[in-house]
């Protein structure tokens, strides 16, 4: 039985149905594509959470498919910032309460604005980190958007180069 995380308890409180799926963690390979393979989903169905900081509105989260890269220009546009950059890995836990490979907008330290790539609407089920390495949460995209109060569903990603 996978361990309940704060993210899972948060979904319980909201009455949202989900499935926890565990996988073997390789500390040398935390790539979202690898996690997708381990839990048996195509990479475009597993969404990774990136934390960024804008020059006008501060910290926000971008949720994009595992097999893509964040389009910083698009994120700046939807967040209302002129410039935006990803926060350094060493700051992730301070800002969110989560470590790299376990970052999720669910039950983070603070409710930052969440911007989601529009491809999320293409799937019946998506996967995101459960808040710890080694566990993913699978649930409906509409429930994810409701739970995170995602402010934008837009084109935020492009294929990896």
pLDDT tens string 81-115: 999 999 999 999 999 999 999 999 999 999 999 99
Confidence of residue 1 (pLDDT cuts 50, 70, 90): low
Percent of the chain with pLDDT over 70: 99
What is the residue-averaged pLDDT of the chain?
94
Give how far Cα 143 sits from Cα of 4, 79, 106, 130, 138, Å: 18, 22, 11, 14, 10
pLDDT digits over 81-90, tens only? 999 999 999 9
- The helix or strand, by DSSP H or E, that contains position 86, with its residue range, turns out to be strand 84-86
pLDDT digits over 10-40, tens only? 999 999 999 999 999 998 998 999 999 999 9
Residue 144 CB contacts under 8 Å (≥ 6 apart), including other chains: 47, 63, 116, 120, 126, 128, 150
What is the DSSP code (8-state) at residue 52? Answer: E
Q: How many CA atoms lie within 13 A of 109 on its CB side?
A: 13
| pTM score, whole prediction | 0.94
Report, as an integer, the average pLDDT of 133-143: 96
Write down the pLDDT at residue 89.
Answer: 95
CATH code given to domain 6-159: 3.90.960.10
Report, as an integer, the average pLDDT of 36-53: 96
What is the C-alpha to C-alpha distance for residues 142 and 108, in angstroms, rounded to an integer?
19
What is the DSSP code (8-state) at residue 46? Answer: B
């Amino acid at each position: 039985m996978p361990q309940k995380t704060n993210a899972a308890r948060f979904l319980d409180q909201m009455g949202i149905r989900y499935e926890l799926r565990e996988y073997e963690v390789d500390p040398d390979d935390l790539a979202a594509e690898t996690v997708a393979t381990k839990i048996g989903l195509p990479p475009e169905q597993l969404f990774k959470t990136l934390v960024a900081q804008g020059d006008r509105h501060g910290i926000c989260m971008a949720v994009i498919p595992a097999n893509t890269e964040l389009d910083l220009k698009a994120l700046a546009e939807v967040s209302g910032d002129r410039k935006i950059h990803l926060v350094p890995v060493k700051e992730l836990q301070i800002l969110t309460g989560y470590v790299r490979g376990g970052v999720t907008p669910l039950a983070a330290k603070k409710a930052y604005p969440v911007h989601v790539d529009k491809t999320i609407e293409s799937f019946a089920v998506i996967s995101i980190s459960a808040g710890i390495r080694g566990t993913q949460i699978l649930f409906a995209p509409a429930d994810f958007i409701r739970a995170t109060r995602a402010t934008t569903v837009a084109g935020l990603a492009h294929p990896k180069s």
